[in-house]
Amino acid sequence: MTDPPLAAIVSIGAIRVPLWALAFLASYFFGLIALRAALRRRREIRGEIADRVSAAILIGFLVWKLAPAASSPRAVLQAPLYLVYASGGAAAAGIGAFVASAYLGFATRRWWGRGGRSDHIRGLIWFFVAATTAYAVVFAGALMWPAAPSDSPVELTGSRAAEKQQGVGAGSMKRGAPAAPEFSLVDLDGRTVSLSDYRGRAVVLNFWAGWCPPCRAELPVLIRFASSVDSSRIVVLGVNQTRSEGSFQAIRDFVAEQGIPYPVLLDGDNRVFFDYGVRGIPYTVVVDPEGIIVARRIGVVTGSWLRRIDRQFGRPPSRSR
């Protein structure tokens, strides 16, 4: 099973950007270039069209980006930066696209009957044809890119298709899925904790560090999730990048200050980070009760993403009558 082509993550220095976002930006700029070519001598109309399209895109983006304020209001109140790092997923993207389209439709409706009607329509057509073509080219290029190995789980990004591929919300993905690497780490109380200790329960492994702003921003969501789920079925383990922290006492003080209720494990030599292929934090991995990795997520977790995990693993299996 492979990742959706545009779900790939592109690293630009320390910044990690989804390929779909780069494709969207490319399509937007190609649309502006086409608009300029189509209305080279109609600068006023060209600027008006560009302003309306840009405003529609901004409105759609804000709806998508601010969706966590509606789905996870407590997290936003406790950590306002959560809005910076989280997003609304596919559902909010669909709502944002609808709102943006409605705005653009209303804006273009005001152009009917004006003398420049044909130029407005021609400019819009050129913009969207060029933008769609650019996006299609990036998508085709992503399809031709070497696919991920079949034993690589697909990131959960909030879409129903991803749920079905990964198993969260649509039955556990077993065929071709990798077993979670076994590990034993010491917690803050000096006790040795192994992944195998939780066999029979789903384990949410959250890789984090106290100095990491998005890690801090997602904590309220993780804390609420860990406190609300049935601990006999789901457990959360925080794997701390201990080598990068100031001191052991700093970690202990931070955990106490934040009221983290789940075990925090100290990965002093980054061995577990390496074994799980962690390339940036926060990074979350879901291991099913049989020890199989069924989902992973780069970046902050959202309440809706965690609720799907709870629906999949936090309830007794239904019995067929």
Give the 3-state secondary structure of the chain: CCCCHHHCEEEECCEEEEHHHHHHHHHHHHHHHHHHHHCCCCHHHHHHHHHHHHHHHHHHHHHHHHCHHHHCHHHHHHCCCHHHHCCCHHHHHHHHHHHHHHHHHHHHHCCCCCCCHHHHHHHHHHHHHHHHHHHHHHHHHHHHCCCCCCCCCCECCCCHHHHHHHCCCCCCCCCCCCECCCCEEEECCCCEEEHHHHCCCEEEEEEECCCCHHHHHHHHHHHHHHHHCCCCCEEEEEEECHHHCCCHHHHHHHHHHHCCCCCEEECCCCHHHHHCCCCCCCEEEEECCCCEEEEEEECCCCHHHHHHHHHHHCCCCCCCC
Pseudo-torsion of CA 138, 143, 144, 148, nearest 10°? 120
Say what the pLDDT of residue 136 is. 86
Query: Among the ranges 39-48, 57-66, 201-210, which has the highest mean pLDDT value?
Result: 201-210
Bigger pLDDT: 97 or 164?
97
46 in the same domain as 164? no
- Grade residue 139 by pLDDT with cuts at 50, 70 and 90: confident
306 in the same domain as 180? yes
Say what the pLDDT of residue 316 is. 67
User: Can you give the three-state secondary structure of 138-163, one letter per residue?
Assistant: HHHHHHHCCCCCCCCCCECCCCHHHH
Residue 227 lies in a domain: yes
174 in the same domain as 265? yes
200 in the same domain as 266? yes
Q: What is the mean pLDDT of residues 127-147?
A: 78
265 in the same domain as 167? yes
Residue 149 lies in a domain: no
90 in the same domain as 27? yes
Bigger pLDDT: 6 or 86?
86
Q: Locate 293 and state its tokens.
A: 């990795």
Judge whether residue 31 has pLDDT over 70: yes
Tally of domains within the chain:
2
Q: Which tens digits make up the pLDDT trace of 82-107? A: 777 777 667 788 888 899 989 888 88
- Grade residue 15 by pLDDT with cuts at 50, 70 and 90: low
131 in the same domain as 184? no
Bigger pLDDT: 177 or 127?
127
Considering the entire predicted model, what is its pTM?
Answer: 0.67
167 in the same domain as 121? no
Say what the pLDDT of residue 320 is. 44
289 in the same domain as 174? yes
52 in the same domain as 97? yes
Q: Which domain holds residue 215?
A: 160-313
Residue 256 lies in a domain: yes
Pseudo-torsion of CA 179, 182, 188, 191, nearest 10°? 130
Residue 152 lies in a domain: no
Judge whether residue 167 has pLDDT over 60: no
The answer to whether the CB of 139 falls within 8 A of the CB of 6 is: yes
Domain of 255: which CATH number?
3.40.30.10
Q: Which tens digits make up the pLDDT trace of 268-318? A: 999 999 999 898 889 999 999 999 999 888 888 888 888 889 988 877 655
Judge whether residue 5 has pLDDT over 90: no
Instruction: Give the whole-angstrom CA distance, residue 243 versus residue 252.
Output: 14
Residue 63 lies in a domain: yes
Among 78, 112, 144, the domain-final residue is 144
Mean pLDDT of the chain: 79
Say what the pLDDT of residue 55 is. 93
Say what the pLDDT of residue 141 is. 75
193 in the same domain as 136? no
Kind of pairing, strands 293-298 and 202-208? unpaired
Among 144, 174, 194, the domain-final residue is 144
Residue 9 lies in a domain: yes
Among 87, 115, 144, the domain-final residue is 144
- Grade residue 236 by pLDDT with cuts at 50, 70 and 90: very high
Residue 150 lies in a domain: no
The answer to whether the CB of 251 falls within 8 A of the CB of 242 is: yes
Bigger pLDDT: 201 or 71?
201
Judge whether residue 252 has pLDDT over 60: yes
- Grade residue 172 by pLDDT with cuts at 50, 70 and 90: very low
